[in-house]
Amino acid sequence: MNSENPYRLLADWLEKEAADIRTIEREAYVALHEQNDDSAYRDLMRSKALKLASLAEQGDNIVDVKDRPDLRSAMNRISRFSQSAAQSLEVGSVFFMSALLYPEEHKDGEANDLENFIAELKSLA
């Protein structure tokens, strides 16, 4: 474990994950809307969900909450991202996978839930 500020460590790591997810989403948009490739779109949405589903386990390797009860809330939030993604994979719903990170009232160009969480972590760092 690293001795740096754990909120900063989580924010930096999640920032890279969020950027990867945005890239997957852009590729999925092109596949669906420009190439009319439903299969590629499904595969990309599955990749997004798999990446999100793995966040909780990866986060446990980045920070140790054993001696830091203040981190439990942040780790629980990461776990909820993972649980929602795992559920979308279990159900096999491409719509569910595409909606991960986006509340119903989300508007294009706004930050998604993961990006908003990263901003919260940065404010605690």
- pLDDT tens digits, residue range 11-23? 999 999 999 999 9
The mean predicted confidence, pLDDT, of the chain is: 94
DSSP state of 70: G
Q: Would you say the C-alpha torsion 110, 111, 113, 119 has a positive or negative sign? A: negative
Banded pLDDT at 3 (limits 50, 70, 90): low
Contact 28, 47 (CB under 8 A): no
Q: Which residue has the tokens 């092109």?
A: 30
Q: Is the pTM value of this prediction over 0.75? A: yes
Which tokens go with 33?
């809307």
Q: Which two tokens stand for residue 83?
A: 């649980």
87 has pLDDT over 70: yes
Local confidence band at 101 (pLDDT 50, 70, 90 cut-offs): very high
